[in-house]
């Protein structure tokens, strides 16, 4: 397996819902996976459990967090919150324009904005 990842940045800074994201591109057996990795800063009060991710009215392939609680991308104050998988055309669009996403949980919807520069990886 080979791949690259971006640095981690804040994509939502609500008082109790500080969310971080970084982008990964991984290659294995000729298949390429492109994803946004989400994490939530632990505040001792709120643990969001996202169920879906949407961008401009389109549902994106999403895998919930939870199984990987603990450190995320070397940041041990963060809790893994999920993965958004991106098809190649959407990834190419995000490299130029960034990506606005609405994350849906059972209690709140959170809008995030992932900047274009995170998607500019050497293997993308």
What is the residue-wise DSSP string for 28-96?
A: ETTEEEEEEEEEEE--SS----EEEEEETTEEEPEEE--TT-S-BTTBTTEEEEEEEE--HHHHHHHHH
**pTM score above 0.75:** yes
pLDDT band at 124 (very low <50, low <70, confident <90, very high): very low
- Taking the C-alpha atoms of residue 93 and residue 10, their distance in angstroms, rounded to an integer, is 20
pLDDT (tens digit, 9 = 90+) per residue, 43-83? Answer: 666 778 899 999 999 999 999 876 555 554 555 667 888 99
Per-residue tokens: 59: 């549902």
């Amino acid at each position: 397996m080979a791949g690259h990842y971006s640095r981690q940045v804040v994509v939502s800074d609500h008082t109790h819902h500080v969310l971080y994201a970084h982008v990964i591109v991984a290659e294995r057996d000729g298949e390429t996976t492109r994803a946004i990795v989400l994490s939530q800063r632990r505040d001792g009060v709120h643990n969001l459990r996202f169920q879906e991710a949407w961008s401009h009215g389109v549902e994106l392939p999403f895998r919930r967090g939870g199984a990987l609680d603990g450190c995320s991308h070397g940041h041990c104050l963060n809790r893994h919150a999920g993965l958004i998988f991106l098809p190649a055309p959407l990834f190419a669009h995000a490299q130029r324009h960034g990506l606005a996403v609405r994350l849906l949980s059972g209690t709140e919807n959170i809008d995030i904005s992932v900047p274009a520069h995170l998607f500019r990886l050497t293997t993308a």
